[in-house]
A and B are shown apart, each in its own frame.
Chain A
Amino acid sequence: MDKQPNPFPDQQLEELEQRIRNTPMPRNSMSREVMNQIGGTNMNKQRNGSTILKRTITAASIAAVMGAGAVGSGFISPTMASALKQIPGIGSMFYGLNSDEIQKAVDQGILTQPLKQITKDGVTLTLTNVLYDGTRLSYTIERAGEHLPQAVVSPYIPMDSEIISGDKEWKKSRQVPEQQQEKGYVTSPKAFINKKELKAFSSFGDDIGNSNAVFVEYTSLGSLPNEFELTVRAKVTRVDEPFEFKVPVKISDNKLVIQPNETKSYENFSYTLQKIESTVTNTRLILESTGEVPATSEQTGKYAPTMMYYEIVDDQGKVLNQRQLGFFHRAPDLEYQVDELYDAISPNAKSVKIKPYTFTVNTDNWSIAGEKLDEKGRVLSSGHKTYIKELEIDVPVKITP
């Protein structure tokens, strides 16, 4: 438009509003990430141990706090260690460990800085911050080059993808054939473990510590070996060849696996404790249960017990936080396969106790008795727990020094 005073200021305001309305969203749809946070079946409320913020900052923040360069050769002071633990995400990973133990975790190869760089067609990608602790794998890809778009994450939607609803203009602007796409966006990379494609739940988005990078994290890995070759294949829009990085990943064989195969029963309920896996950063509980959950005298009428949950306490008195607690808006099933992650066991613990418990639910609205939320909706208390002592199991553990 020409530079002349506009005689219709209202029109300018309308234009401003329209301009606001047309602001592009500088990333692809968040629907998958939200749906996975919601999880479960039948409208359950899942109280996740970490917020989205925590999930997206782990590796990048470690590198930011520890500094780039080869980690594991550096010394982590007690101040640094306590600073690390304050950071959400990392904090939960290193929870309960002192600085020596964090140093040990780092020495065990959990974080590697390959700093591998590949340049193609004027775009340079660098793979950094490869983090693997046995249960989670994540890495960062930095992008550099001239005349590249400001955002790093590709805003484009594949031509063959189907998006139901959403406004057509926006969709049209995102489904663009490659020839018409802007050059230089990083699309969702593929990872391979020993040349086999890794199919796990992954999240991909901007790196919070670095505006020129993307961060990728995989959870629900199944069982990966302690040593493998990681291949990351990233594609950049308008660059023909993919960028392929190969990084050796090795963590010490420090996973402790206990298979108690012990069964406990009470009334009509019984469960078999199959496996406990313990690493420096978390504990995994695997068990099977059958039968109806026992009810107390308070859990009658419109009140009922929920499914059985399992608390883990070590002999140092530490209650291991469960990473995710799922609630369901329906009566419990009669059979469960439980596979849950908790915080790490204290290093000098000699045994842990499994303490099954239920919450009490109001079947009118599926609210949990005793649940307390703060004004932001965050969980202060998950609810009143009813422990069933008859179902407790003590498990001796031995943590390798």
Chain B
Amino acid sequence: MQAAIPGDMQAKKEKNERIERAVQRVITGEKEAYELIIQEFERQMYTYCYYILKDHQETEDAVQEIFIRAYENLNSYKRKVSFSSWLYKVAYNHLMNMKKKHNRWLKLVDEYKHHKPVVQESSYTTVIEELMEYLTPEERHILLLKAVEQYTFEEIAIIMNTRSATLRKKYERLRRKLIEQTIKGGQLHGQTAQPFS
């Protein structure tokens, strides 16, 4: 819908500087400034985690743990990369380390409750989730990181600890897959996003 325009680059630069300032405030002891950082990133972080985990409760837990982990390791943040990509690297690692949700607790609840809770998806997310089904887990991360924060391939490479050339190829592949699907399937619902479904 819109290609990257020069105004976007400027806005992105200003946002990064604002974030760096907030980060410095936190590092020098102003704990409350971290709340600004959470509010700045949480919606996109939620989106990223949700399309990977596909469960709202797990996503909520993951997002909170990511912010806590990032805070605890804030002293190890060096300005070689943008804070944003550093934060998403924490997120990516956290998501990669999460075990699948076949844990004891759920099994127990199922046993005693005799039925699984019915989770209804909102129509807003279903279209996206359906298309994501055609991608490998790795491709999902690539697509999501590009979508939520509009990272460059260099930035995504840092987050996913891989080479940007490899990433470019993988992105091309996923792009072809998705285009194939949308052509096959008729069309992608093209209305502009509504805030609530």
Interface residues of A (CB under 8 A from B): 1, 3-6, 9-27, 29-35, 37-38, 40-43, 45, 51-53, 56-57, 61, 64-67, 83, 86-88, 149-151, 155, 163-167, 170, 173, 182, 205-206, 208-211, 365, 375-377
Residue of A nearest to B32 (CB): A35
Give bound CA distance, A23 to B49, whole Å. Answer: 12
Give bound CA distance, A25 to B3, whole Å. Answer: 25
Give bound CA distance, A207 to B70, whole Å. Answer: 26
CB of B50 within 8 A of CB of A64, answer: no
CB of A9 within 8 A of CB of B179, answer: yes
Residue of B nearest to A66 (CB): B112
The segment from B81-89, B153-161, B187-195 found at the interface with A is B187-195
Q: Is B46 an interface residue (CB 8 A)?
A: yes
CB of A23 within 8 A of CB of B125, answer: yes
CB of B31 within 8 A of CB of A13, answer: no
16 pairs of residues in contact across A and B, judged by CB atoms under 8 Å? A16-B188, A18-B1, A18-B147, A19-B193, A23-B47, A23-B193, A24-B196, A34-B68, A35-B31, A43-B29, A61-B105, A64-B113, A65-B108, A173-B195, A173-B196, A376-B94
Looking at the assembled complex, report how far the CB atom of B107 sits from the nearest CB atom of chain A, in whole angstroms: 10
Residue of B nearest to A163 (CB): B39
CB of B128 within 8 A of CB of A16, answer: yes
Give bound CA distance, A87 to B178, whole Å. Answer: 41
CB neighbours (8 Å) of B39 from chain A are 29, 31, 163-166
10 extra interchain contacts, Cβ-Cβ under 8 A, other than A35-B38, A42-B31? A3-B186, A23-B50, A24-B124, A43-B71, A52-B64, A52-B65, A83-B112, A88-B105, A164-B39, A211-B119
Give bound CA distance, A155 to B61, whole Å. Answer: 17
User: Residues of B within 8 Å of A, CB-based: how many?
Assistant: 76
A21 and B187 in contact, given A6-B182, A34-B68, A61-B109 (Cβ under 8 angstroms): no
Which residue from B18, B26, B131 sits with its C-beta under 8 Å from A43? B26
Give bound CA distance, A55 to B167, whole Å. Answer: 39
Q: Is B72 an interface residue (CB 8 A)?
A: yes
A37 and B119 in contact, given A20-B47, A64-B113 (Cβ under 8 angstroms): no
CB neighbours (8 Å) of B97 from chain A are 375-376
Looking at the assembled complex, report how far the CB atom of A231 sits from the nearest CB atom of chain B, in whole angstroms: 28
CB of B128 within 8 A of CB of A15, answer: no
CB neighbours (8 Å) of B166 from chain A are none
CB of A210 within 8 A of CB of B182, answer: no
A149 and B196 in contact, given A26-B56, A86-B104 (Cβ under 8 angstroms): yes
Residue of B nearest to A207 (CB): B57
CB neighbours (8 Å) of B193 from chain A are 18-19, 22-23
A211 and B147 in contact, given A25-B46, A65-B109 (Cβ under 8 angstroms): no
CB of B75 within 8 A of CB of A365, answer: yes
Residue of B nearest to A47 (CB): B72
Looking at the assembled complex, report how far the CB atom of B38 sits from the nearest CB atom of chain A, in whole angstroms: 4
Which residue from B36, B43, B60, B74 sits with its C-beta under 8 Å from A205? B60
Q: Is B91 an interface residue (CB 8 A)?
A: no
A43 and B74 in contact, given A31-B42, A83-B108 (Cβ under 8 angstroms): yes
Give bound CA distance, A64 to B106, whole Å. Answer: 10
Give bound CA distance, A38 to B43, whole Å. Answer: 20
CB of B112 within 8 A of CB of A67, answer: yes
Q: Is B164 an interface residue (CB 8 A)?
A: no
Give bound CA distance, A86 to B107, whole Å. Answer: 11
Which of B40, B97, B193: most chain A Cβ within 10 A?
Answer: B193
Give bound CA distance, A381 to B42, whole Å. Answer: 30
CB neighbours (8 Å) of B75 from chain A are 43, 365
Residue of A nearest to B38 (CB): A31
Within 8 A of A (CB), among B12-39: 18, 22, 26-27, 29, 31-32, 34-36, 38-39
Q: Is B143 an interface residue (CB 8 A)?
A: yes
A30 and B109 in contact, given A17-B146, A20-B128 (Cβ under 8 angstroms): no
Residue of B nearest to A171 (CB): B39
CB neighbours (8 Å) of B143 from chain A are 17, 20
Q: Is B136 an interface residue (CB 8 A)?
A: no
Give bound CA distance, A35 to B22, whole Å. Answer: 15
Give bound CA distance, A9 to B32, whole Å. Answer: 45
